[in-house]
Amino acid sequence: MAHGRIPSLVLVTMLVLVPTSGCLGEDGLDVFPEKKGIPGGLTLACLRDSSFTSLVVEIDHAPGYRPYTSSAELLVERLEQVCEKPGGISVQYSEVNFGQQDSWSAQDVRDRGWDHKDGSPMDGSTLRWQILFPEGTYEDDSVLGVAVDASTMALFGDSIEQADGLLGRPSVEDVENSVIVHEAGHLLGLVNLVYQSPTNHEDPEHPGHSNNDESVMYWAIESTGLRNFITGDLPTEFDADDLADLAGLASGDIAVRDQLWP
Ligand SMILES: [Zn+2]
């Protein structure tokens, strides 16, 4: 019986500790109100290294929905260009049963995401981003990817699978490569999500996106409509205006808002 006792004690201890810690806050209902923020809410935490010296990108995929290796590699490469992370940028994969297979809302992505995060987005000196690759589609099934809060985004493989071009160019892999960088760009605050660019490069018809169809932040990148708007190679890079915005945010030349940190 002794074996059964230790887990019970641990459980009881946790139950006692949690409400006690929660008393530090004024809201008795939400014991640990997690600040989820908005896309771009951890921009400075990523761009600068003053508090977070490494970045872990947690990829939680449904069985059979693991992304192409090239997508994760490209993402790390693009982030290394803009985020100061002397401790490195790494990717951790987990296979997850989300318990949801059909239609996803932004709130579903947020809820299932936070259910499965392996650590807090601000975990000591490590910043943690999370990308879900679930089964099913977004509620608007022309959407290939979404960024839903400061640390969480999702790519919808079932829709990406349908979004390749005629004769397979761009290929499904090309599309996934571009969409992953695009959504990461939103987590970095592009375009004008948490700042106002000194350059006029936001598409007024598609807020939060670039007006340059050679930027990965062009609106059509996250839509099945991309094959109708882009011929040849899909952009996978931030353009000069995107990079100038990120550099300005990092240096403090561009004012930033809605940050979870500092
Ligand atoms: Zn977008």
Q: In whole angstroms, what is the distance from residue 42 CA to residue 242 CA?
A: 17
Q: What is the 3-state secondary structure (H, E, C) of the chain?
A: CHHHHHHHHHHHHHHHHHHHHHCCCCCCCCCCCCCCCCCCCCHHHHHCCCCCCEEEEEEEECCCCCCCHHHHHHHHHHHHHHCCCCCEEEEEEEECCCCCCCEECHHHHHHHHHHHCCCCCEECCEEEEEEEECCCEECCCCECEEECCCCEEEECHHHHCCCCCHHHCCCHHHHHHHHHHHHHHHHCCCCCCCCCCCCCCECCCCCCCECCCCCCCEHHHHECCHHHHCCCCCCCCCCHHHHHHHHHHHHCCCCCCCCCCC
Q: Which two tokens stand for residue 253?
A: 């030349």
Ligand 1: centre distance to CA 31 (Å) = 33
**Can you give the pLDDT of all 262 residues of the chain as single tens digits?**
444 444 444 444 444 444 333 333 333 344 444 689 999 999 999 999 999 999 999 999 999 999 999 999 999 999 999 999 999 999 999 999 999 889 999 999 999 999 999 999 999 999 999 999 999 999 998 999 999 999 999 999 999 998 888 777 788 999 999 999 999 999 999 999 999 999 999 999 999 999 999 999 999 998 887 776 666 688 999 999 999 999 999 999 999 999 997 6
> Separation of 180 CA from ligand 1 center, angstroms?
10
Q: Residue 190 is encoded by which pair of tokens?
A: 């592009």
The pLDDT value recorded for residue 247 is 98
Residue 183 CA, chain-centre distance (Å), reads 6
> Is domain 33-251 annotated with CATH 3.40.390.10?
yes
Q: Are 163 and 172 in contact (CB under 8 A)?
A: yes
What confidence score (pLDDT) does residue 101 get?
Answer: 86
User: What pLDDT, on a 0 to 100 scale, did the predictor assign at position 230?
Assistant: 63
CA 144 – ligand 1 centroid, Å:
9
Q: Write the single-letter amino acid at 221.
A: I
Spacing, Cα 135 to ligand 1 middle (Å): 20
* Gap from CA of 226 to ligand 1 centroid (Å): 12
pTM, rounded to two decimals: 0.86
| C-alpha 85 to ligand 1 mean position (Å) | 25
pLDDT at 1: 42
Residue ranges per structural domain of the chain = 33-251
